[in-house]
Every structure is written in C-alpha cells, then in structure tokens.
Copies of this chain bind each other. A is one copy, B any other.
Amino acid sequence: MKVVSTSKSHGGVQGVYSHASEACACDMTFAVFVPPQAKDGPLPVLWYLSGLTCTHANVMDKGEYRRLAAELGLIVVCPDTSPRGEGVADEKDNWQFGSGAGFYLDATQQPFARNYRMHSYIVDELPALIASQFPADMERQSIFGHSMGGHGALTIALKNSEHFRSCSAFAPIVQPMTADWSRPALEKYLGKDEKSWRAYDATALIEDGHRFGEFLVDQGTADGFLKDGLRPWLLEDACKKSGIALTLRMQEGYDHSYNFISTFMDDHLKWHAARLAK
C-alpha cells in the first residue's frame, strides 16, 4: 500500500492510499479517515460507496463526514467506483458504463471480466487490506452509499449480512435490472441472461430470499433521477413483502447532489454509530 497523501482533519487523519489490486488487476486508490480515538485501540469501520462518475475523492471533498466521524470514533473508508487506467476496458464518453461505473459487481463478460470485479474488491480484497493497515475492528463494520453506491451498499449488505451491522443509503438505485441507466451496463458486464443480474439488484435479492436487519434510506423529492432511475418505492414494496424494516425518508426539495448527502450525513453517521457500539 502506498500513501498518496495524509492531512490532519478534526483531530484525525484523512488519508488517500493506493495499492496493486489483485481483484481488479490494476492499481486502485481509496480514502480512509482515521479519527483521533484510534490511539486508544481499534475502531469500527463504516464503508461509503460512491455513485456514477465518482472516485474516492467526491465524498472525501464534499461529504462532510469527518467532523462527526471524529466525534463518534468511526473509521470511514471510501473506495473508488471502478477499476481505472491503461489497459482497463472502457467506453470513454459513456458515464453510465466503464470507468466510474463499476456497479459493485464481478463482470463475467470479456473484455470487462479481467478488471471489473468491484464486488470481490469491496467484499474481500479491500477489507483484508484495511484490517492489516489500519486500527480497524473488523468485527464492527457498516456500509452506506449514494446512488450507484447505494445500490452497492444494499446489495452487498443483503449478500453479506453477517459482515455488516447496519446499512443505509442516499438516493440508491434499488432496481438496476429495470432502469434505463443501468440495464445496458448489466448486460455488458454480465451477459444477456438476466438471471445472472439478480445477484446485483437489491429488490431481486430480497425476492430470492436474501435478508438484512433494517435499512435507512433518504431520497430527495427534487432528485432528477427519482422517477426513472431510483424509484425507492420498489425497495419499499420488496421490504414490506419480506418483512425487512425500512425507514424511507422522502426529503422535500433535495436534489441528487452532495448538498443533499451532506445535509443528512450526520443522521446516517449517528444511526450507524449506534449500531456499531460495542
């Protein structure tokens, strides 16, 4: 692991790191905030998965999580959203596929299967690195994310419920199998057989029997992607039918930007911290 940069913030350290990823067969960059309480022993880990077009840097710059994470004693890990770099297959002018659009899945179709393995990266490889390099109590992990990263958080929590104490999302893509901005990506990464897509769709996973304790979801009513791309009511339906506790908060007048995320960041951090307490 290489240290790209470190900077003191709210008494802790906001760092950016890179490493040669085996899962993604390329160098990957990620951000970690370590709060000041780390000097007294291992701390719980909160994973934040970002949305389409983002790198690790968007939430690090605009998410406004450090003040309260420093107070609550949470390590916050912010991975990239896809493999990147020379030799990584990409569609340069398509913001909904390739670089910045890994959809937290393991691609099976060439040429993408070589690098686009964000599910394995987030679930297996990066946690092992975090455990070895940071003062992290890996028995206490939670996960959240925004938009495509909300999709990532929900699907990863549903498939790995034993790893995460809690899961929340800002404006998540809850049913990527049927949304115009994600269907083409699923087909290119996973092939034409839609059965294989179900492992990467929160509502399909719930239909197929996966469960998680409870979800907190915030969604802005002025979000331009609400009706076609996000559609939280589909998650609400799936949760009702399956008995999963969902707190869905429709936030009047908020859009899809980090102004929305940062407004409700404190609520999510407190909600996770309560569930990550020893």
Contact A257 B64 (CB under 8 A): no
A258 to chain B: which residues have CB within 8 Å? 61
Interface residues of A in 217-261 (CB under 8 A from B): 220, 222, 253-255, 257-260
A67 to chain B: which residues have CB within 8 Å? 64, 262-263, 266
Which chain B residue shows the least CB distance to A261? B9
Asked if A196 CB lies within 8 Å of chain B CBs, one says: no
A61 to chain B: which residues have CB within 8 Å? 61-62, 258
Asked if A7 CB lies within 8 Å of chain B CBs, one says: yes
A66 to chain B: which residues have CB within 8 Å? 259, 262-263
Asked if A81 CB lies within 8 Å of chain B CBs, one says: no
Asked if A10 CB lies within 8 Å of chain B CBs, one says: yes
Instruction: A263 to B257: give the CA distance in the assembly, Å.
Output: 22
Asked if A275 CB lies within 8 Å of chain B CBs, one says: no
- Contact among B8, B254, B257 for A222, CB-based, below 8 A: B8
Contact A9 B263 (CB under 8 A): yes
Asked if A168 CB lies within 8 Å of chain B CBs, one says: no
The 7 listed contacts between A and B (C-beta, < 8 Å) are: A7-B260, A8-B254, A8-B260, A8-B263, A9-B260, A9-B263, A67-B263
Asked if A147 CB lies within 8 Å of chain B CBs, one says: no
Which chain B residue shows the least CB distance to A265? B67
Which chain B residue shows the least CB distance to A8? B253
A255 to chain B: which residues have CB within 8 Å? 7-8
Asked if A14 CB lies within 8 Å of chain B CBs, one says: yes
Contact A259 B9 (CB under 8 A): yes
Contact A9 B262 (CB under 8 A): yes
Instruction: A64 to B10: give the CA distance in the assembly, Å.
Output: 12
Contact B10 A263 (CB under 8 A): yes
A14 to chain B: which residues have CB within 8 Å? 259
Complex interface bits, A38-69 against B, C-beta within 8 A gives 1, otherwise 0: 00000000000000000000000110101100
Nearest 6 A/B pairs, CB to CB = A9-B259, A7-B259, A8-B253, A10-B263, A64-B64, A8-B254
